[in-house]
Structures are given as C-alpha cells and as structure tokens.
Structure 1
Amino acid sequence: MTSHRHNQQAEPNPRDGYLDAARDCILDVGWRRTTLTEVARRAGVSRMTIYRAWSDMPALLGDLMTREWGTLVTGQVDLTGAPTPEGLADAMSATVDALRQNELFTRIVELDPELILPYLLARRGRSQELILGILAAAITEGQRQGTMRAGAPIAIARSLVLAAHGFVLSAHTMLDDEVDAAALDAELRTLIVRSLTP
C-alpha cells in the first residue's frame, strides 16, 4: 500500500486564525481597545477558546509580533551563497524598509508606541533573537570564507541591530529639505558594508 503521508498538506493551525483576528482588531481600533473577547468574536470562537490559548492580551501580542516580524524578516533575507558585506547590507536595508511599511508595525507605533519600548529599553524579543541569529550565522560564515572582517560575530550582529533600530523608528525625525529617505537609506547601507568589510 502506498503511503499518502507526504502527499497531504499540513493541517492549518487554528491559532493562526486567532492571531489574524487579533491583527485585524489592532489595525481597526488599536491595542488598548482590543480585548480577548473581541478577538474571540472576530475569530468566531468562544472566549474560553482564546483564553485557553493566551492568558491575556500581552501574551497574545507577543505571539502576534513574533509571527509578523519573523515572517517579514525571513521573507526579506536571502543569504544564499557566500555571505558578503553587500549582501548583508541589502538584506538588512530591505528588512528595515519592510518594517517601516508594515501596517501592523506602523499602527502600533502611531497608536501604542509604549508597546515597542520594552524591546528597546529592557529586553530582546523573540523576533530580535531571530534576526540576531540570522546575522551572526551569516557573519560567521562570511568570516570563514574571508568575505567579512574578523571579530565576535554575536557582538557585530548586535551592533548592527542597534544601528538598524534608529533607522526603523527614528529616520523620519532626520528628514527635511536637505536629506530625504533615500539618502538616509543609502547611508545605512554604507554603514553596514563598511562595518563588515575586511
């Protein structure tokens, strides 16, 4: 008998539907006005179904942000082949741009910026750890192949992420008639390339 195990698609995770409902709520009314009850209503399930998955809104938001930013990062980063400073700069610049244009991210920054502060001032989040892991692995491989400068890969990766934070969250404060977004983005790319070049 032939096995059909590999021919069947994986069952969709119902939690994704709940996270989609939470995302829609936050886009519509913001974080402060989103409740687990409203998420359940939009998802078409009971409140207890949502409460069994998440004890409170911060726990749900953490999973939502991890899914959103993780998907965004992995969709932007293509480091196939030998890692180079230019390739890493392209990937980081694309990620920064994608974050600035992400509707959930911009909605949170506009309405509830305090949700971002813990990840800037107190601790790293799961999405930041994902980014750091990707960067450190690429830097390590680049060093092995001689395409990137020597140094502690984890420290270099963390420094690059710290620099990128400003370009994601504060770039708009540096724009005026003398400097536009394209000029700043070009400087970010230059900063990354020169930081990594042997």
Structure 2
Amino acid sequence: MSSLRHNDAGEPIPAPQSSARDAYLDAARACILDVGWRRTTLTEVARRAGVSRMTIYRTWPDMPALLGDLMTREWGGLVAAAQPDPRPDGAPTPERIADGVLRAVRALRDNELFVRIVELDPELILPYLLARRGRSQELVLGILEELVATGQRAGTVRAGEPVTVARALVLAAHGFVLSAHTMTDDDVTAAALDDELRLLLARMLRPEPAP
C-alpha cells in the first residue's frame, strides 16, 4: 500500500510510484555530480526531472531528506550486491564474509557519487561517522548480522553476539573506505592494503581452535 502525506489543507497526497521516485532521485544524482551538493536545490531537481517544483516538495520537504533517500538507494544497493549469494553447499565462512566486505569497500571507493560528495562536500559524511548511524549503515549491519549468525549456527564463524560482531566489522571497514588513499604511496599499494583488510576480517571471524 502506498504511503500518504498531507497537504496544508489536510488532504492526502499519494506517494509517487517507485519508478517516478527513482527518476527524481536520478535527477538529484545528476545535479550533485554536476555542481555538488551545496548548489543543488529541489527546484533544480524538479527542472531536471521535468516535473513541477511542488511535485518534488511533496515527496521531500528539503534537500537533506532527499539526500538520505539517495544515499540509501545508491550505497545500500552497492553493499547488498557485493555480499555473497547463499550457497546450498555450505554456510558463510569467514573468508566469504570478508570477501563480501572487501567488495563493498571497493565498490564504495569507486562509486562516482560517493567520490563526488567526499571531494566537494565531505561534511555530509561526518554525521554518519561521528554522531549517528544512517539507513545505509543499518542495511549493511543487518546483512552482516545475518551472515554472522548463520555462520555461527553452522560452526564456521566464532561465537559472539552477532550484532556486536557486525558493528565491529563495519567499524573496521570505515577507514579503508574513507582513508585508504592516505596510506598508499610507492611502498604500499591499495591492493596490498585491501589484502590486509581481508586478512583482518577473516581472522576476526574464525572460530578459536579447540584447546
């Protein structure tokens, strides 16, 4: 069932269909890639989407709300696509989970919207690192929590509260998404750092050997 918003007269306004909503988000994405976040307005998004300004305002009250939906669609989709598919021949292993996290890290680092925001408007990322979790992060945590719990039930992943383990995995990956470039030079390549991340995550998830 479609959700409803209300206008000033209290009359319900149907939410746009997903195809239309995606078109509006596509227009916002194009604006941010062209001119950056600070110069992108809901009016410009409407112009690019070929709809009235009120159509966009009925969907998002302001640009931060639109950005939240755009980041959830863009980065949540990337991370979800990077995770390993369920395998009928076995449970998630530390190596497969680590590979999925590494694929997500690389996908985010290469994502043109993410790169553009970090280059021009890095302050947009700071709240999700210093103050609160966003919807994209919650999506990632949910995926990892399920993988960890499934591996624990099969004995392929070490014991521990799945929620805590998933959050530790995300925290470990943050630096490799945002700061890996500061640690690369003639002596250390990005690929070498990624290998270390995979090793770090896999070792973190492996069951402890029996005494």
Same topology, TM > 0.5 = yes
Aligned length: 188
Superposition deviation, residue 142 in structure 1: 0.3
Higher relative contact order (CA 8 A, sep 6+): 1
Say which of 38, 45, 54 aligns to 1:32: 38
Unaligned runs of 5+ residues in structure 1 are: 1-10
Determine if the alignment matches structure 1 residue 197 to structure 2 residue 206: yes
Moved more, 56-65 or 72-81: 72-81
1:26-53: CA deviations, max 9, x gaps?
Answer: 0000000000000000000000000000
SS across alignment from 2:170? helix
Letter in 1 for 2:41: T
Aligned to 2:7: none
Aligned to 1:49: 55
Say which of 139, 143, 160 aligns to 2:169: 160
Superposition deviation, residue 12 in structure 1: 5.0
SS across alignment from 1:13? helix
Q: Tell me how far apart the structure 1 counterparts of residues 165 and 58 of structure 2 sit (CA, whole Å).
A: 40
Superposition deviation, residue 13 in structure 1: 2.4
Contact 1:79–1:138 under 8 Å retained in 2? no
Aligned to 1:183: 192
Letter in 2 for 1:47: R
Letter in 2 for 1:112: D
Superposition deviation, residue 71 in structure 1: 1.2
Superposition deviation, residue 178 in structure 1: 1.2
Letter in 2 for 1:61: L
Contact 2:80–2:143 under 8 Å retained in 1? no
Which aligned pairs between 1:110-149 and structure 2 lie closer than 5 A? 110-149=119-158
Letter in 1 for 2:64: P
Moved over 4 A (4+): none
Aligned to 2:104: 95
Contact 1:72–1:95 under 8 Å retained in 2? yes
SS across alignment from 2:47? helix
Determine if the alignment matches structure 1 residue 67 to structure 2 residue 76: no
Q: Tell me how far apart the structure 2 counterparts of residues 12 and 132 of structure 1 sit (CA, whole Å).
A: 25
Q: Tell me how far apart the structure 2 counterparts of residues 168 and 17 of structure 1 sit (CA, whole Å).
A: 28
SS across alignment from 1:37? helix
Q: What TM-score, normalized by structure 2, do the two folds share?
A: 0.88
Aligned to 1:6: none
